[in-house]
């Protein structure tokens, strides 16, 4: 899937949210953390990731385009909180008490670990068959079958799944 072009106004809204949340965190924590880089390179069904050592946030452009304001309000502070927690506390569990504190107390955002965005348009599946039914395998599982790394069996009849002919 080709990466969609994001409107400048949408990219500006992301940066505005990032800067506002970072300024709030810097005031509250009495620090002067610099602005992380923002890249629109996240793929698949993941909304965003924080790359700690690179001090960078990677966002999914498809989910951003489809869920604009909700994405900006939820995902941008979520990923920023990961970076801030890493600076403040070092290596801790990704969605542990430090992250929850950073989200709720410092940034004033609900601490949800996963997004609720519709990802149906992002999930390509491959049809496989057994004697009793049809199955849909993800790209990852399909590729593992093609490489000969594994076989999958039907949980009902126990037969090996075979790709669509």
123, 150 contact by CB (below 8 A): no
**Tokens 């009902």, located at residue:** 156
User: Alpha-carbon distance 49 to 33, whole Å?
Assistant: 18
Q: Which of 20, 56, 66, 79 is catalytic?
A: 79
> Considering only CA atoms, which of 94, 64, 78, 66 is closest in space to residue 36?
78
> Which three-class secondary structure state does DSSP give residue 111?
coil
Measuring CA to CA, which residue among 71, 84, 80 is closest to residue 18? 80
Active-site annotation holds for 79: yes
Looking at the annotation, which residues are catalytic? 79
């Amino acid at each position: 899937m080709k990466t969609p072009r994001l409107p400048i106004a949408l990219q500006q809204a992301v940066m505005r949210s990032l800067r506002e949340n970072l300024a709030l965190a810097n005031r509250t924590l009495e620090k002067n953390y610099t602005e992380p880089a923002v890249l629109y390179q996240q793929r698949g069904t993941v909304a965003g990731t924080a790359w700690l050592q690179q001090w960078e946030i990677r966002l999914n452009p498809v989910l951003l385009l489809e869920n604009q304001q909700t994405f900006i309000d939820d995902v941008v502070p979520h990923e920023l909180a990961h970076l801030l927690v890493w600076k403040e506390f070092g290596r801790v569990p990704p969605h542990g008490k430090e992250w929850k504190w950073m989200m709720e107390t410092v940034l004033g955002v609900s601490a949800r670990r996963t997004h609720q965005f519709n990802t149906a348009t992002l999930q390509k599946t491959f049809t496989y068959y057994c004697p009793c039914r049809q199955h849909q395998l993800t790209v990852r599982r399909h590729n593992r079958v093609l490489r000969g790394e594994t076989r999958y069996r039907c949980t009902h009849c126990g037969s090996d799944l075979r790709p669509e002919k």
